[in-house]
């Protein structure tokens, strides 16, 4: 019998070939999608030079890319499972372990799986790199567009902000000067208060030390008050006499 001619192995080889053919078609379409994505973006940049033209409009292509990537990953997983089953069958007790043709067939399927996996990851990486670059360029162009459209308004706002900032600085300077004057006045008043307290304290000390002087000062004050009362009475009497004389 030929290697892998028994029913289980033949079924596995058939499934592997079907998956390989399907993967080949998917990878070709996947590669065309990535190429068309890049060509569409390059053509758009060639046709339109205005900064106001949107750079990216490939949401449908992005969704198609995600769908195809998931499908290819699923097919690769299935093919990996088939190859594992073929390896288990090859190493099983009922199959000669040294059958070169059977081992060669299994190795060929593994090489095909490895090539498809490598091609898929390479194409996917290229697509992601192109999309990232286009997104970055689109963001830069959008920022430039926003800056150009709002430059006049921004200049006016900047001028108003500068004026308002200058007013605030002047107000802060006036407030600081007022606070400085108030602090200096407070310090002067505190100093004068201390001097007055010191004089009062010295006077009280002198009065306590010299009771006779204190008594003399009180007598002088009483005499001055008495003289003031006498002088006030004399002036009052004179004023009354002058009024009486004037009316007679």
Domain-located, residue 246: no
Q: Is residue 199 part of a domain?
A: no
Query: What pTM, to 2 d.p., does this model score?
Result: 0.47
DSSP for 182-210, written as a single string:
HHHHHHHHHHHHHHHHHHHHHHHHHHHH-
Cα dist. 8→12, 78, 108 in Å? 6, 17, 18
- Tell whether 68 is covered by a domain: yes
Please check whether residue 224 lies inside any domain of the structure: no
Count: domains in the chain: 1
Write the CATH number for 76: 1.20.58
Which DSSP string corresponds to 25-61? Answer: HHHHHHHHHHHHHHHHHHHHHHH---TTS-S---HHH
- What are the pLDDT digits (tens) for 170-208? 888 888 888 888 888 888 888 888 888 888 787 777 667
Tens of pLDDT, residues 100-145: 667 777 888 888 888 988 988 888 888 888 878 877 776 666 666 6
Range of the domain at 103: 8-38+57-147
């Amino acid at each position: 019998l030929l290697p892998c001619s028994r029913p289980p192995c033949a079924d596995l080889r058939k499934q592997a070939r079907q998956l390989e053919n399907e993967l080949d078609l998917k990878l070709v379409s996947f590669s065309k999608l990535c190429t068309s994505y890049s060509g569409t973006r390059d053509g758009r940049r060639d046709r339109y030079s205005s900064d106001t033209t949107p750079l990216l409009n490939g949401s449908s292509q992005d969704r198609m890319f995600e769908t195809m990537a998931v499908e290819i990953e699923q097919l690769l997983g299935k093919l990996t499972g088939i190859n594992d089953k073929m390896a288990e069958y090859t190493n099983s007790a009922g199959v000669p372990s040294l059958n070169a043709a059977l081992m060669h067939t299994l190795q060929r399927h593994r090489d095909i799986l490895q090539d498809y996996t490598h091609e898929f990851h390479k194409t996917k990486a290229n697509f992601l790199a192109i999309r990232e670059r286009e997104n970055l360029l689109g963001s830069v162009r959008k920022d430039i567009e926003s800056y150009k459209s709002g430059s006049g308004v921004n200049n006016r706002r900047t001028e108003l902000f500068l004026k308002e900032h200058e007013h605030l600085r002047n107000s802060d300077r006036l407030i600081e000067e007022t606070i400085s004057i108030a602090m200096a006045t407070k310090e002067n008043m505190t100093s004068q208060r201390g001097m007055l307290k010191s004089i009062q304290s010295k006077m009280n000390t002198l009065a306590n030390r010299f009771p006779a002087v204190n008594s003399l000062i009180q007598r002088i004050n009483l005499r001055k008050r008495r003289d003031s009362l006498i002088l006030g009475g004399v002036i009052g009497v004179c004023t009354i006499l002058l009024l009486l004389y004037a009316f007679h």
